[in-house]
Amino acid sequence: MSTTDSNAAESTARIFRSEEELARLPASERIRYRLVSAECRYHANDNISAHVREGELGELKAEVQAKMQEVLKALVIDTSSDHNTQETAKRVAKMFVDEVFRGRYVPMPSVTEFPNAERLNELMIVGPIKVRSACSHHLCPIIGKVWIGLLPNEHSNLIGLSKYARICDWIMSRPQIQEEAVTMLANELQQRVRPDGLAIVMEADHFCMHWRGVKDDQSAMVNSVMRGAFLKDANLRREFLSLLPRKG
């Protein structure tokens, strides 16, 4: 949070106390008030769902729509007579809140966990999982795939195959940079599954490079996180990495 934003938010937190006073504020200000009061960070890639109340996402979309309409106006686009852009502000607001940034505003999806009854302890690989995110620098798309390697132990929780995709989508549906996204995904899976080893590789195209700037449409970014046995055991790490091309 910038110093200016922080000071403004703290000032709001000091001024407005009661629910009646808060109710008169725009939804974004109410949510920000709760975050500041709870001393919670609200960066672009943070999940803030615990501070969003029922009905406020609809209000938030209306706010975004109004602000986006002003952006179109500032770009000198005649949305009144241009039939292609008359509903653009509304569509963009819905896209941001309900779709591409949804991972900020909704809780973690429900994930059923099973005990490792058979005491499985062999390498498991899930992927490639298609992932979609957005660069927090330019809000351009990041489209890629993720592979997840797990070495469970007898105390690990096993989760259904589709749940890995749900968790990935929840983490990735936020503005962020790829390096932080992979680390956040690793943290979530480490806490939930508690394996002896965890490995994640992500390969993605960044449209902030393809679409603007250098306009290089050939480059992709690959990064990884290795934990536990994958970090300590070079043979296990090589086995995991060697299997990835076969999954593409």
Q: For residue range 190-219, what is the model confidence (pLDDT) as tens digits?
A: 998 899 999 999 999 999 988 888 888 888
Domain spans, the chain = 3-105, 114-247
- What are the φ/ψ torsions at residue 72 (nearest 5 degrees)? -60, -40
Q: Is the pLDDT of residue 1 over 70?
A: no
The reported pTM is 0.85
Q: Is the pLDDT of residue 246 over 70?
A: no
**Segment 50-59 mean pLDDT:** 96
Percentage with pLDDT > 70 across the chain: 90
Per the CB < 8 A criterion, the answer to whether 49 and 101 are in contact is no
Percentage with pLDDT > 90 across the chain: 71
Tokens linked to 177: 């940079």
Report pLDDT for 3: 56
Mean pLDDT value across the chain:
89
Confidence of residue 160 (pLDDT cuts 50, 70, 90): confident
Q: Is the pLDDT of residue 58 over 60?
A: yes
Beta-carbon contacts of residue 32 (< 8 Å; ≥ 6 apart): 9, 12, 42
Report pLDDT for 17: 63
Query: Of 33, 35, 31, 34, which Cα lies nearest the Cα of 11?
Result: 33
Render pLDDT for 70-118 as a digit per residue (tens, 0 to 9).
999 999 999 999 999 999 999 999 999 999 999 999 999 888 777 665 6
Q: Is the pLDDT of residue 59 over 90?
A: yes
Report pLDDT for 247: 44
Better-scored residue on pLDDT, 15 or 188: 188
Q: Is the pLDDT of residue 175 over 90?
A: yes
Confidence of residue 237 (pLDDT cuts 50, 70, 90): very high
Alpha carbon distance 243, 220 (integer Å) = 20
Q: Is the pLDDT of residue 13 over 80?
A: no
Per the CB < 8 A criterion, the answer to whether 164 and 154 are in contact is no
- Classify domain 114-247 by CATH architecture: 2-Layer Sandwich (3.30)
Report pLDDT for 159: 85
Tokens linked to 205: 């195209």
Alpha carbon distance 179, 222 (integer Å) = 9
**Segment 1-9 mean pLDDT:** 55
Report pLDDT for 10: 55
Q: Is the pLDDT of residue 121 over 80?
A: no
